[in-house]
Amino acid sequence: MSRSLSLLQQRHSVPSRQLGEPAPDEATLHALLEAAIRVPDHGKLVPFRLIRLQGDAKLRLGEQLATIAIRNNPELSEAKQEKERLRYTFAPLVLVVVARIDSQSKVPEIEQKLCAGNVAYNLLLGAYALGLGAQWLTGWAAYDNEVAAILGLAQHEHVIGFVHLGTPQLDVPDRDRPALADLLSTWTP
């Protein structure tokens, strides 16, 4: 069996809290990003972009999220406030994958979103292939208009996910996977 297929069969997410330094260096990150953007793109629209969160920016975003969360829910517990503040601080690098939807295109919106989703998934695959850990998360912030404004998103842009990248700090066991036999059928006329 090929090494590439073996990587696909073994890939799994590493929880963001288990990701630490080092982050990929600039050359490795550049190579990973170049690979990640090689996705099916009907119409060649490039309906995606990436936002890099690193260093102090991750904590600052978390502080702004905590402020929004408290305003939306004044009864939010201290523990949940702290969770919001620290949400992006565990992994040394977080990449925000953004879908850029062209509503005037003949390409359906779902295909444009799936294209951006493939970028996020390629980040996971590429990170695993490089010996890094990664986790694709969304959460309420991915769907919040105020967070979109903080991130500088335009009206036609949507967060697809926050991909946390770093070095696994411990071995994470794979989760149970569904049986292929339960998912595959053969259509017959």
pTM for the model: 0.95
In a domain, 120, yes or no: yes
Question: Sorting pLDDT into bands at 50, 70 and 90, what band is 14?
Answer: very high
Q: In the chain, how many domains are there? A: 1
Question: Sorting pLDDT into bands at 50, 70 and 90, what band is 187?
Answer: very high
Question: Sorting pLDDT into bands at 50, 70 and 90, what band is 172?
Answer: confident
pLDDT at 99 over 70: yes
Predicted local confidence at residue 52, as pLDDT? 98
HEC letters along the chain: CCHHHHHHHHCCCCCHHHEECCCCCHHHHHHHHHHHCCCCCCCCCCCEEEEEEECHHHHHHHHHHHHHHHHHCCCCCHHHHHHHHHCCCCCCEEEEEEEECCCCCCCCHHHHHHHHHHHHHHHHHHHHHCCCEEEEECCHHHHCHHHHHHCCCCCCEEEEEEEEEEEECCCCCCCCCCCHHHCCCCCCC
Question: Sorting pLDDT into bands at 50, 70 and 90, what band is 24?
Answer: very high
What is the extent of the structural domain holding 98? 14-53+90-171
Predicted local confidence at residue 77, as pLDDT? 95
In a domain, 77, yes or no: no
Question: Sorting pLDDT into bands at 50, 70 and 90, what band is 32?
Answer: very high
In a domain, 73, yes or no: no
In a domain, 133, yes or no: yes
pLDDT at 1 over 90: no
CATH number of residue 101's parent domain: 3.40.109.10
pLDDT at 72 over 90: yes
Question: Sorting pLDDT into bands at 50, 70 and 90, what band is 156?
Answer: very high
